Chains A and B, each alone.
Chain A
């Protein structure tokens, strides 16, 4: 019935891993969900093809908070190309129930019941979209520098 909001998901949302802003960062991305007005801001610092540090701030629903929290917990230290794969896999997980990637992202399994609720997919995907946008901005900046 309301299994979307199971204990693990709420715990992930409440723990708000990586919440805050980076004082020293390579890029920031802020994305809005026009449907509900949710807003996610992701700061990244990159180094040698990896995301070194990430922070997240969410003004939004529990799903969006949990997703950003998962990023805050698992993204630091990960390879950029690997993060692209994770973001695509999460999308496929919601849309077609394709399997999730490696162990570092096992927390994403908490979103399994959201697959049924198409109108809420964007709530989960918004932080990942913001993460990739921030990474791309950081890479562009590095290339221009």
Chain B
């Protein structure tokens, strides 16, 4: 099957709508990607035909719902190369996945043990570790970034020391688009016996990954960024890692037996899934993974790369516009951040939305430490999906010229 962005675009009902009387140019996929009809229909079908609670009923609907839920788990396990579906824990998203590790893994740490993050991290991979630090006296260390917005590999040995118990880093920056060279970091973590957590929120939307090959111990990602629903995400953890973790939430569906004297917990993954989970969302997330797998992903990647190149070239031609992140196409996701001298990201986003129907993200992107480091208060970000086309890039660049004219006068 060859890659045809026009055909693909037609699969996304929302892209047909207008905003402020203009066609929608949706370039905020890094925040939330849109859902194709296949995913929308799968969710509706599940809710129409198999809606019931899971893991607790024996009637036909309960069985169907449980089967769909566990099949979704298996699909997502395959999507990330997990050896076993029991290693896939459903969460509300990347944030709750990381918090689960900060609690379950973190509470086994002692004062003085070290957790290493990078300066590129989203707040969701910073704040849970700060909370752990405050709770347990764990030391939080930070890998610096290069001027290009990549993790500075020359600092690995200095920062990842013998007291390091966990390296928790992003697999791809949601600000700079830089894809992390995980191999070197995994080796540095392994050398000191530390576990490795990867925040894969910005990677899985672009195709499947192989957690085993990456050398990770934990992998976190969200449904809503990979063309699936929100309110659902995954924490993958190596079986022995999950087995050593205490649950964060207590309640139904996570127990083996409960008495007032003592409660014993179920094994992973259900130990970490107290209460009724987001069932249709899990089914939808798996449908999104299947939808991605069914695409011509080489064509998809080449298409996104070409459009990313057009955006980078277009920005380079404009005075006072600085790309925040790698200037080339190697080792980067189709996520482009830029700063504009004399114009604030929110003003730029407002003008592009109102005048050209272009949806961008502006601000600190939940990465305030990185903004501070890069010396900007915020950036404007365009992030692509496979349904974006040359018309979207044209609208972005035309709209940017309009914004510059308006805001710099």
Contacts and interface: CB of A to CB of B under 8 A. Distances in A.
Interface stretch (B56-64, B339-347, B389-397): B339-347
Nearest to A61: B344
A120 interface: yes
B228 interface: no
B11 interface: no
A60 interface: yes
Contact of B350 (A7, A59, A120): A120
B409 interface: yes
B116 to A, nearest CB: 25
A62 B348 CA distance: 10
B362 A36 contact: yes
A1 B347 contact: no
B158 interface: no
Contacts of A62: 343-344, 347, 407
A5 B377 contact: no
A37 B379 CA distance: 11
A137 interface: no
A36 B346 contact: yes
A106 B351 CA distance: 25
Given A2-B354, A120-B350, A36 B407 contact: no
Contact of B409 (A10, A60, A120): A10
A23 interface: no
Contacts, number: 53
A35 interface: yes
- Give the size category of B's interface with A: 20 to 34
Interface in A27-81: 35-39, 59-63
A61 B378 CA distance: 10
B406 interface: yes
Interface string B360-389: 001110001001000001100000000000
A61 B346 contact: yes
A2 B371 contact: no
Given A37-B371, A38-B377, A62-B407, A2 B355 contact: yes
A70 to B, nearest CB: 17
Interface of A: 1-2, 4-5, 7, 10, 35-39, 59-63, 117, 120, 123
Interface of B: 20, 343-347, 350-351, 354-355, 362-364, 368, 371, 377-378, 402, 406-407, 409
20 contacts: A1-B354, A2-B351, A5-B347, A5-B351, A5-B406, A35-B363, A36-B364, A37-B363, A37-B364, A37-B368, A38-B344, A59-B377, A60-B344, A60-B377, A61-B344, A61-B347, A62-B343, A63-B347, A117-B350, A120-B350
